[in-house]
Amino acid sequence: SYELTQPPSLSVSPGQTAGITCSGDELGDKYVCWYQQKSGQSPVLVIYQDRKRPSGIPERFSGSNSGNTATLTISGTQAMDEADYYCQAWDSNTGVFGGGTKLTVL
C-alpha cells in the first residue's frame, strides 16, 4: 500500500520559516493536500492541489510538490501556527495521510 512519510516534529522560532516535508514514491505525479489540526479541533485545509490556498488561509502558507517530496512552507511563522500538520494524497482511489508533523513555535 502507498505510504506518505513526514518528520514527527519540527521546532521553529517566531518569524522564521518552517518547511514540513512529505515523501512518497513518485509523489510529484499526484496532487497533495495539507491539513492543519490544532489541539482539540478538527482539521482545516490549508493547501490543496500542491500549492493552492483556500480562501481565508494566510499567504504565509505555501506548498510545492516535485519528484518524491512535497513541502509545506510557512513563512514568518507565528505562535498561532503551532499545530499538527498532515499531508494527504490519493492512490488508486484510496485516501492516504502522512503520519503528521507536530510544529512547535518557541
List 43, 53, 60, 68, residue binding another protein (CB under 8 A): 43
Smallest distance from the beta carbon of 39 to another protein, in angstroms?
Answer: 11
If one asks whether residue 86 binds another protein (CB under 8 A), the answer comes out as yes
- Cβ nearer to another protein, comparing 61 with 86: 86
In this structure, what are the phi and psi dihedrals at residue 28, rounded to the nearest 5 degrees? -60, -15
If one asks whether residue 29 binds another protein (CB under 8 A), the answer comes out as no
If one asks whether residue 94 binds another protein (CB under 8 A), the answer comes out as yes
If one asks whether residue 63 binds another protein (CB under 8 A), the answer comes out as no
List 27, 88, 103, 105, residue binding another protein (CB under 8 A): 88
Instruction: Let me know if 7 is exposed, middle or buried by CB neighbors in 10 A (0-12, 13-18, 19+).
Output: middle
**Contact predicate 2/95, CB 8 Å:** no
Instruction: Let me know if 101 is exposed, middle or buried by CB neighbors in 10 A (0-12, 13-18, 19+).
Output: buried
If one asks whether residue 13 binds another protein (CB under 8 A), the answer comes out as no
Beta bridge partners of 69: 23, 66
Q: How many CB atoms sit inside 10 A of residue 106's CB? A: 8
Query: Binding residues for another protein, per CB under 8 A?
Result: 1, 31, 33, 35, 37, 42-45, 48-49, 54, 86, 88, 90, 93-100
